[in-house]
Each structure stands twice: as structure tokens, then as C-alpha cells.
Amino acid sequence: MAGHDVEAVRKDFPILTRTLAGDRPLVYLDSANTSQKPRQVVEAMERHYLEHNANVARAMHQLGAEASAAFEAGRDKVAQFIGAPRRDEVVFTKNASEALNLVARVLGDDGRVSAGDEVVVTTMEHHSNLVPWQLLTQRTGADLRWFDVTDEGRLDLDSHTLTERTKVVAVTWVSNMLGTINPVEEIVRRAHEVGALVVVDASQAVPQFPVDVAALGADFVAFTGHKMVGPTGIGVLWGRYDLLAELPPFLGGGEMIETVSMDSTTFAAPPHRFEAGTPPIAQSVGLGAAVDYLSRIGMDQVAAHEQRITAYALDVLRELPGVSIVGPKEPVDRGGAISFTVDGVHPHDVAQLLDSQGVAVRAGHHCAKPLHARFGVQSTTRASFYLYTTEAEIDALGAAIRHTQSYFGAR
Amino acid sequence: MNAANVDAMYQEIILDHYKNPHGAGLREPFEAEVHHVNPTCGDEITLRVHLDGGRVADVSYAAEGCSISQASASVMNELLVGKSVEEGLQTLTVFQELMQGRGQVEPDEDVLEDGIAFAGVAQFPARVKCALLAWMAWKDAVAQASAEEDS
């Protein structure tokens, strides 16, 4: 295991040494839901609150200057981490959902999507990259269309043809349910051919592998801090600067203005135009520390570890009788989330029994109800992995599934 | 939660009802049909109520969900069919008190019969909604059916 020392990494995450009720060691396999946080991130936020806390940009005192610098330093780090050509292309939001809602809202307000136009998504979307587009198309009279998914859980790019009517293609980079990594570059190519904008939900991508938004060529990329060892309460919208500069504001309030009178307001330049009100200051500090942490390990290493662990988990799950993987069964173009069903045991009962063995997973529709419907299941159990996941934990998952099957008499 | 608590939740009675649900399926006649969903987990139930002169003549349902939600619908069917609407609503109140009692409420077997098996579920806040899904659907349906009968 040259390069990535999982045991050393685990020492940075005190929560992973916890034992749960019944003296069972925690086996945390729910990182696609939210990742755990290393000491370095928590301590950076603690230091900020205890030593530098003030509001940003509007406090003329020394603490205000320190807080502003710390907040903007988080932006610099994120911009560098994702290869953003300009730091002011990084807009902070409260989460990825807000980032996606922001884009959908302002594209509509700007008249870039209107009656007769078409917005294209995929059946693979998390609700947060589906519902905002439903709302936009309902609001504007545009049509919502989508790329379907094959039985193997791959995007079927032949299932819909983009045309001049297509104004936006919104697609997830990595499915939070199936784990599928989508050919986003190809989608960008096809969309730009017809002049459509491309919005990428990278919530499961940025945490898992190196991302270079400039090389990707999309117009907007959204992701969230808490899935990449950062804090909750901060999301990121990256957008091409020339586009951001043309778009109207999202929320109105402090910080997003240039000047205000009783009848009219002019707006600040990006990114502040899209950041009304007191922003997530400590969260930016925490996200900056998260980015430093991941960069120190190296995203290539993080990705390679994710690949290894996912391949190992696919092997373990495939060998379990009565267990069916929903999504790609080979570790090719595949991220570290595996959804599965257990014959004769409902996913919620699976998750409950796994929890009784110390194994934390997610069960339900994973905010992807249409995708579950596509595969004819109401819900699934999902195990997801990250840079601190060990093969021993995957073995514990396998053992806990076997225990669940015997408990419910399913095997 | 440890293994002992899980055993408290997955009582033999619950697993029996899960595997052999009573009164499952949608039947005619009915005065009201409702569809309830637990949005956090996606469990669903379609439930019909047939009232006959202030009595619950039938509760029929098609449900998809975990063992707790399925068993709860089955136990509810056993408890409510044949009772007066008023007795049914009282039973609902007693069951609700048990489920929302965080494991501190002593279940009344005379009223709840097999329903006492859900006492262990009350220790798992995330699962209380599963146990109540069918009951809330019935409450909704019976209100609609009663309004129908009165009109």
C-alpha cells in the first residue's frame, strides 16, 4: 500500500476510534452521506472562533480584517484545489443543493431558459439536481427531458438527442446511489455543440478524485464541503467568470450590493453578488483546512485508495448469496458508493441490524427516487467509503450482512 | 444501539406479522382511500376503510416498507376491524402514546394485544414513524369516511 497510509490517516479522525453500544468498534461506511472530519479541520475552525472571530468585509477593526482574510483564504484554497482559472469564480453557498438552485434560478431570471426551450437532466440525478430544474421548467414553460440509464447503471447517451432547443444540460458526475462515474467530458462536448450550458453536480466527485474545472470545460460545477472532510454549512458553486458576471443575483441582502437607494440597487461583482448576508466564515476556514488536508495526502492517492477499497468491497458483496448490487458490478469508472439489496430483508431492517453490529450505512432512496424506480426497487442499502476506510471494515460489513440474513431467516 | 435492543425491537410477534400479514390487499367496498408516504425513507401505504354504521367493517391496504411498518399495518388490521370507530380511535391514541413514550410507557396488553410488541421500537426514534405510518393513514381515511357517512 505504497503512498497511502490508512492507519496514519485514521489517527487524524478521533471519531473512528469510538466504540458503540455493546462495545463494538464503529465501522463508518456512510461517507457518501457525510464524511468524517480530521482533527486538522476541527482545530482550524476552533482556532478561528477562539482567536479571530468577527464578521467579514464590514468590520473595520483588526479582528474584522483577520476574519475577512481567513474567509477569503478559504476561497483561494478551493479555487486552487479545483483548478479554477480565477478565485472569484468560486461562490460559497450553504450546500450543493443551494448552489444548484442558485444556477437554476438565475438562468431562468436571466431569460436563458424560457417557454419552448429544453433542460436536460438524467434519471441518475440526486433530487437536488432534479427538483430545481423541475421548478425552473415549470416556472418558465420550458420542457424537462432526460438521459436514461442502462441496466448496468451507465448513462445511455443515445436515449436523448440534444438540439438547438437544449439550453441547459445538468448532470451528476458520480451517482450517489449507483457509484457510476459519468463521461462528463463527452456530455460537455455534445452540449456545447448545440450551444447548451452544462451544470455538473460534483458532490461525489470532488471528494473522491482530482478535479480540474478548467480542463473539464463545464460552465458550472457544484459540490459541498461536508463530503470532503470539511464542515457542514458550506457549499461551492464554481462558474465561468464571464457567465457569472452576466447573471443577475440570487438572494438579495447585505454583501451582494454595490450601492443601494430606496428605489434601486446595483450589484457587486461575482462572487459577492451571489453571497447575500453573512457568509459561512468559519466554514470557509474549515473547508480551506480540508482542502489542505486532502492536498497533503494527494487526491491521486485518495482516488487510488477509493478504487482499491471499492474493488475489494465489490468482491466481498458479490460473493454473498442473496445480495444483489444495484449499479456497476466492476470497479471501472466507478466511485466508492455501493447500493445493494438483501433478499427477504427490507433495506431499513438491514441498516438497523448492521447498526447493531457497529456498521453505519445508509438505507432508503438516497434522495434518488426516480433512479430507484428505474431499477424496480423502492429503496436500497448503501455502503460508501473514503480515505480512512480499511479492508477490515469491508470484512466487518460482509460479516454483519451474513448476521442480518440469519437473524431474519433469509438464508 | 446494541444487539439486545435490536432484539427488543424485532420481537418474534413483529417478524411473524411481517412474514404473514393479516388483512393485506385492497378490497371493496370502501368509503375512503388514502395514500401515505414516509418521506425520509420512502415507505408507502395505500389504505382503504369500509365503515358500517359506526363500525370498522374493513381496513384493507397495500403497503411497501420495512418489517416494522408492515407488521404494524398487520397488527392494526387485527385490532381495528370489528371495533367501533370510537374504540378504534382510542386504540390509536394508546398505541401512539406507547410509540412516542421513548420506551418509558408500560404497554397495555388488554387494549393493544399484539401491538405491545412495538414497545421496543419506541427506543429507536428513527423507527417510530415506521410503526405509525399505517395508523396515521387509517386515522386520515376514517376521518374522510366518517365525513362521507355524515353527509
Nearest to A346 among B5, B40, B66 (CB): B66
Q: Is A277 exposed, middle or buried (0-12, 13-18, 19+ CB in 10 A)?
A: exposed
Q: What share of chain B is helix, strand, coil (3-state, %, to 5)?
A: 55, 20, 25
φ/ψ bin of B112: left (φ > 0), alpha (ψ from -120 to 50), beta (otherwise): alpha
Residue A377: CA count within 13 A, CB half-sphere = 30
CA neighbor of A327 nearest in space, from A338, A316, A343: A338
The answer to whether residue A244 is catalytic is no
Contacts of B42 in chain A (CB under 8 A): 364-365, 369, 372, 378-379
Nearest to B64 among A364, A369, A378 (CB): A378
Inter-chain touch A24–B65, beta carbons under 8 Å: no
Whether B1 contacts chain A with CB within 8 A: yes
Mean pLDDT score of chain A:
96
Q: What percent of chain B has pLDDT over 70?
A: 97
Peptide bond into A271 cis (omega under 30): yes
A406: CB partners within 8 A, 6+ apart: none
Residue written as cell 366518517? Answer: B146
- The DSSP letter of residue A390 is -
Instruction: Count Cβ neighbours within 10 Å for each residue of A203-220 and write b for 16 or more, e otherwise.
Output: bbbbbbbbbebeebbbbb
Residue A396: predicted pLDDT? 97
Q: What percent of chain A has pLDDT over 90?
A: 95
Nearest chain B residue to A346 by CA: give it. Answer: B66
Beta pairing partners, A362 = A382
3-class SS letters over A246-283:
HCCCCCCCCCCEEEECCCCEEECCCCHHHCCCCCCHHH
The SS3 call for residue A319 is coil
Q: Which of B15, B18, B41, B72 to mutate to test the interface with A (most CBs of A within 10 A)?
A: B41
pLDDT of A362 > 90? The answer is: yes
pLDDT digits (tens, 9 = 90+) for A73-84: 999 999 999 999
Q: What percent of chain B has pLDDT over 90?
A: 73
The SS3 call for residue A303 is helix
Q: How far is A198 from chain B (nearest CA, A)?
A: 30
CA distance A29 to A336: 10
Phi, psi of B73 (to 5 degrees): -65, -40
CA neighbor of B73 nearest in space, from B83, B86, B62: B62
Query: Is the distance from CB of A89 to CB of A238 less than 8 angstroms?
Result: yes
Inter-chain touch A22–B130, beta carbons under 8 Å: no
- How would residue B3 be classed by pLDDT, with cut points 50, 70 and 90? low
Whether A407 contacts chain B with CB within 8 A: yes
Query: Is the distance from CB of A115 to CB of A141 less than 8 angstroms?
Result: yes
Inter-chain touch A22–B44, beta carbons under 8 Å: no
- How would residue B151 be classed by pLDDT, with cut points 50, 70 and 90? low
Inter-chain touch B6–A353, beta carbons under 8 Å: yes
CA distance A350 to A393: 17
pLDDT of A1 > 70? The answer is: no
Inter-chain touch A356–B5, beta carbons under 8 Å: yes
The SS3 call for residue A162 is coil
Whether B68 contacts chain A with CB within 8 A: yes
pLDDT digits (tens, 9 = 90+) for B23-71: 999 999 999 999 999 887 788 999 999 999 899 999 999 999 999 999 9
A7: CB partners within 8 A, 6+ apart: none
Give me the mean pLDDT over the A199-216 stretch: 98
The SS3 call for residue B33 is strand
Phi, psi of A12 (to 5 degrees): -80, -10
Query: Is the distance from CB of A162 to CB of A191 less than 8 angstroms?
Result: yes
- The DSSP letter of residue A89 is G
CA distance A397 to A380: 15
Phi, psi of A117 (to 5 degrees): -75, 175
- How would residue B118 be classed by pLDDT, with cut points 50, 70 and 90? very high
Whether B44 contacts chain A with CB within 8 A: yes
Residue B4: predicted pLDDT? 57
CA neighbor of A237 nearest in space, from A254, A228, A225: A225
- The DSSP letter of residue A71 is H
Q: How far is A378 from chain B (nearest CA, A)?
A: 7
Torsion of the alpha carbons at B113, B115, B120 and B126, rounded to the nearest 10: -170
Inter-chain touch A355–B10, beta carbons under 8 Å: no
B25: CB partners within 8 A, 6+ apart: B60, B61, B62
pLDDT digits (tens, 9 = 90+) for B59-73: 999 999 999 999 999
Q: How far is A408 from chain B (nearest CA, A)?
A: 8
Inter-chain touch B41–A363, beta carbons under 8 Å: yes
Beta pairing partners, A364 = A380
Q: Which of A346, A365, A408 to mutate to test the interface with B (most CBs of B within 10 A)?
A: A346
Whole-Å CA distances, A308 to A132, A314, A332: 35, 10, 11
Whether A363 contacts chain B with CB within 8 A: yes
Mean pLDDT score of chain B:
91
Contacts of A355 in chain B (CB under 8 A): 1
- How would residue B6 be classed by pLDDT, with cut points 50, 70 and 90? confident
DSSP H or E segment with residue B15: helix B12-19
Residue B1: predicted pLDDT? 46
Inter-chain touch B1–A364, beta carbons under 8 Å: no
Inter-chain touch B4–A408, beta carbons under 8 Å: no
Q: How far is B39 from chain A (nearest CA, A)?
A: 9
pLDDT digits (tens, 9 = 90+) for A3-49: 799 999 999 999 999 999 788 999 999 999 999 999 999 999 999 99
Nearest chain A residue to B37 by CA: give it. Answer: A378
pLDDT digits (tens, 9 = 90+) for A145-193: 999 999 999 999 999 999 999 999 999 999 999 999 999 999 999 999 9
Beta pairing partners, B149 = none
Number of Cβ pairs closer than 8 Å across A and B? 55
Whether B42 contacts chain A with CB within 8 A: yes
Nearest to A356 among B3, B70, B130 (CB): B3
The SS3 call for residue A123 is coil
Residue B105: predicted pLDDT? 86
Query: Is the distance from CB of A113 to CB of A142 less than 8 angstroms?
Result: yes
- Computed from CA positions of residues A323, A327, A333, A334, in that sequence, does the dihedral angle turn out positive or negative? negative
Compute chain B's Rg from CA coordinates.
15
Maximal C-alpha separation, chain A: 72
Give me the mean pLDDT over the B97-120 stretch: 90
Give me the mean pLDDT over the A298-325 stretch: 97
Nearest chain B residue to A25 by CA: give it. Answer: B2
Nearest chain B residue to A378 by CA: give it. Answer: B42
- Computed from CA positions of residues A60, A62, A65, A71, in that sequence, does the dihedral angle turn out positive or negative? negative
Phi, psi of A366 (to 5 degrees): 50, 35
In this structure, the strands spanning A155-156 and A323-326 are unpaired
Angle between helices A62-81 and A281-297 (to 10 degrees): 40
Tell me how many degrees the CA angle B10-A383-A291 measures, rounded to the nearest 5.
Answer: 135
Give me the mean pLDDT over the B101-129 stretch: 89
pLDDT of A369 > 70? The answer is: yes
Given the residues A367, A377, A399, A410, select the one marked as catalytic. A367
Nearest chain A residue to B19 by CA: give it. Answer: A344
